[in-house]
């Protein structure tokens, strides 16, 4: 098997009609906006305290630690996003801000390499005493990811040198030798970060520590005898499974516990499996992937159905109005999918990655870039959300920031780093997973090669891929699961291709341009009958986009509509949001004039009705109102 080689984030630049505006907004507006928030300078936003904590820890300000114990991670994700933003705009202001914050981090780091402002300022006597919930390794992981991004894009190793000292301390602290702690992170993240650092630097110590944490997870006692863990697990949702520590990874058959932790864990494990070539670890991840995507995932690519514990529950338990489906969890699912594609390029992984990115991830940020959803429901009645206790996590509107603000900078780093999701490599075989317009370059055994993709997605199934470079490489183009009549032409002539695990295999020559076309009819989807909440219902998908109905187009009582599945869905272009494709569903709704009592005999009259639908990720950009993805159907 040809060895996979990572494509550098610097080698792919997105240039796409759908994504350009979103990336430009992130680069020019959102990155500076979030810097103001992190510095507590944005009116109306919940104070972050993140930068101030580092100022205090650096001895440049006085005060007490503010925010959650994992507040450092918000800043780390911003550093990563800001670094990636330099790929699109080499902003002196952003570079200055990055240099400023790296300088603070250098000063805040303790002489032995320790770096965590919560424990430096608030609980210095409890360093490494609360592995289950302390988030020290989680924060270190995000800061290590930030250091790698800053190193790869900005060309500065200042933060990487800081994190080298921190990782050296972690290696000294954790392990099986006398005096070391035999444990693993409470909140996974550092594992995937260590693998990023390994690939960026080639230093084996990063890979070895990642492998240790992956393989040791689930060992007893680990952190399971810590007083902090014992106190937390009095709540049934915060036991070992909450941390994915209930069993070794090869013995885990279902995705359990905190959804973000699980996604980050599986992502790091896939990175390790790729480097070690361990078939048993790969097989375990494949089984977990099947459980998540075939039994525990929403149609929008959201995962984690319960608010308490932000967790998975049981197979097919997918409520629409109380679901948690945290934005970070969908980002984690996309990250895991990308690693599974590196392990084995199968289109089913790319289908899910695309589903998550275009739906649950994008729904987490408003069009203005300055308002966010943490929780992404598939059904909303604002008055119910405000009143009922089981809706306490659901916001009727996006907000400017959160006290627990993991999602906003996570979205920004995803948008600015989107190019990393488009391709993977196996030797001199290049796989294009997403039809996102871009310019890419990569080295082959025969020399440098370049690709340029021009795309009409997600509104039209059409893309042009131009190749220049040496012969002898293989190009694999994904055949989306929703594509109808998938065709490839070259110079106006049909191209015969071999289909391999959902990809069309081509052998391009220098100067060759391929045109890929496929139909994307809007279609009704129905859920497995075991999904109680969706029984007798349908939703609409067109291409990668899941659609929803909003009160702004349809009035109130969206749940009263019943779609007639025998009637075709109608699509039409719309000028909404700068140009989208909308869908119209035909059916009936009750004649409300005949309803005066709370209950009455069945058979009360119905009248013809239409439901106008827009892409789910755009909901709540036109004011507050009802929203519905799954509607009654017959």
Terminal C-alpha separation, the chain: 49
Whether 530 contacts 316, CB under 8 Å? yes
**Cβ of 227: how many Cβ atoms within 10 Å?**
10
Whether 275 contacts 195, CB under 8 Å? yes
Of the candidates 170, 177, 184, which has an alpha carbon nearest to the alpha carbon of residue 215? 184
Whether 510 contacts 486, CB under 8 Å? no
Query: What secondary structure does DSSP assign to 527-576, as a single string?
Result: --TT-GGGTTEEEEEETTEEEEEEHHHH-S-GGG-EE-TTSPPEEEEE-G
Whether 569 contacts 543, CB under 8 Å? no
Whether 615 contacts 629, CB under 8 Å? no
Residues, the chain: 634
CA distances from 203 to 164, 197, 206, 606 (A): 10, 8, 6, 69
**Cβ of 200: how many Cβ atoms within 10 Å?**
18
CA torsion sign, 47 to 51 to 53 to 56? negative
CA distances from 100 to 65, 103, 186 (A): 20, 5, 30
CA distance 195 to 271: 7
> Which pair of tokens denotes residue 446?
């025969």
Of the candidates 345, 335, 352, which has an alpha carbon nearest to the alpha carbon of residue 266? 335
CA distance 573 to 590: 29
Q: Which residues are catalytic?
A: 310, 406
CA distance 148 to 158: 10
CB burial of 16-44 (b: ≥16 within 10 Å; e: otherwise) equals: bbbbeebbebbbbebbbbbbebbbeebee
Of the candidates 143, 145, 114, 119, which has an alpha carbon nearest to the alpha carbon of residue 133? 119
CA distance 4 to 219: 31
Q: What is the DSSP letter of 8?
A: P
CA distance 395 to 399: 8
62 burial level (CB within 10 Å; 0-12, 13-18, 19+):
exposed
Whether 537 contacts 559, CB under 8 Å? no
Q: What does residue 453 show for φ and ψ, rounded to 5 degrees?
A: -115, 130
């Amino acid at each position: 098997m040809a060895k996979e080689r990572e494509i550098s984030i610097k080698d792919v630049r997105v240039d796409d009609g759908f994504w350009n505006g979103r990336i430009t907004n992130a680069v020019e507006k959102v990155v500076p906006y979030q810097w103001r928030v992190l510095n507590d300078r944005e009116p109306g936003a919940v104070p972050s305290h993140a930068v101030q904590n580092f100022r205090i820890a650096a001895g440049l300000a006085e005060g007490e630690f503010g925010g959650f114990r994992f507040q450092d991670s918000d800043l780390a994700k911003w550093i990563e996003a800001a670094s990636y933003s330099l790929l699109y705009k080499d902003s002196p202001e952003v570079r200055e801000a990055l240099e400023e914050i790296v300088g603070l981090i250098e000063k805040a780091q303790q002489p032995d390499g320790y770096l965590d402002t919560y424990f430096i300022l608030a609980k210095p006597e409890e360093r490494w005493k609360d592995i289950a919930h302390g988030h020290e390794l989680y924060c270190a992981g995000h800061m290590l990811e930030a250091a790698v991004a800053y190193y790869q894009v900005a060309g500065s190793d200042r933060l990487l040198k800081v994190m080298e000292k921190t990782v050296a301390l972690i290696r000294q602290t954790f392990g099986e030798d006398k005096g070391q702690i035999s444990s693993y992170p409470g909140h996974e993240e550092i594992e995937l970060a260590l693998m990023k650092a390994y690939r960026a630097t080639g230093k084996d110590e990063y890979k070895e520590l990642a492998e240790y944490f992956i393989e040791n997870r689930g060992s007893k006692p680990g952190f399971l005898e810590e007083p902090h863990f014992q106190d937390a697990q009095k709540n049934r949702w915060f036991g070992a499974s909450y941390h994915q520590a209930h069993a070794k990874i090869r013995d885990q058959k279902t995705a359990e516990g905190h959804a973000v932790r699980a996604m980050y864990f599986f992502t790091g494990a896939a990175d390790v499996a790729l480097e070690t070539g361990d078939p048993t670890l790969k097989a375990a991840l494949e089984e977990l992937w099947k459980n998540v995507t075939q039994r525990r995932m929403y149609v929008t690519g959201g995962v984690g159905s319960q608010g308490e514990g932000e967790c998975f529950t049981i197979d097919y338990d997918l409520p629409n109005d109380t679901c948690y489906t945290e934005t970070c969890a969908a980002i984690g699912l996309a990250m895991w999918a990308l690693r599974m594609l590196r392990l084995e390029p199968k289109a089913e992984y790319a289908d899910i990655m695309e589903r998550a990115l275009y739906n649950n991830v994008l729904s987490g940020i408003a069009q203005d870039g300055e308002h966010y959803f943490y929780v992404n429901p598939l059904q909303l009645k604002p008055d119910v959300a405000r009143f009922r206790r089981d809706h306490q996590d659901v916001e009727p509107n996006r907000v400017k920031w959160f006290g627990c603000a993991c999602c906003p900078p996570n979205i920004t780093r995803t948008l600015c780093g989107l190019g990393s999701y488009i391709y993977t490599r196996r030797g001199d075989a290049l796989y294009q997973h997403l039809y996102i317009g871009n310019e890419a370059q990569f080295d082959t055994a025969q020399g440098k090669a370049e690709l340029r993709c021009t795309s009409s997605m997600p509104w039209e199934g059409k893309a042009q891929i131009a190749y220049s470079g040496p012969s002898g490489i293989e190009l694999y183009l994904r055949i989306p699961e929703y594509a109808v009549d998938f065709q490839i032409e070259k110079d106006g002539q049909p191209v015969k291709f071999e289909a391999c695990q959902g990809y069309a295999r081509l052998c391009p020559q220098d100067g060759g341009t391929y045109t890929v076309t496929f139909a994307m009819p809007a279609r009704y989807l129905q859920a497995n009958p075991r999904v109680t909440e969706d029984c007798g219902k349908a939703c609409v998908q067109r291409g990668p986009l899941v659609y929803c109905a909003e009160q702004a187009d349809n009035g109130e009582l969206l749940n009263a509509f019943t779609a007639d599945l025998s009637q075709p869905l109608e699509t039409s272009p719309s000028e909404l949001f700068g140009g989208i494709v909308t869908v119209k569903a035909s059916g009936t709704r009750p004649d409300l004039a005949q309803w005066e009592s709370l209950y009455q005999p069945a058979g009360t009259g119905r009248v013809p009705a239409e439901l106008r639908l827009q892409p789910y990720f755009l909901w709540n950009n036109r004011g507050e109102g009802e929203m519905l993805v799954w509607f009654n159907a017959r």
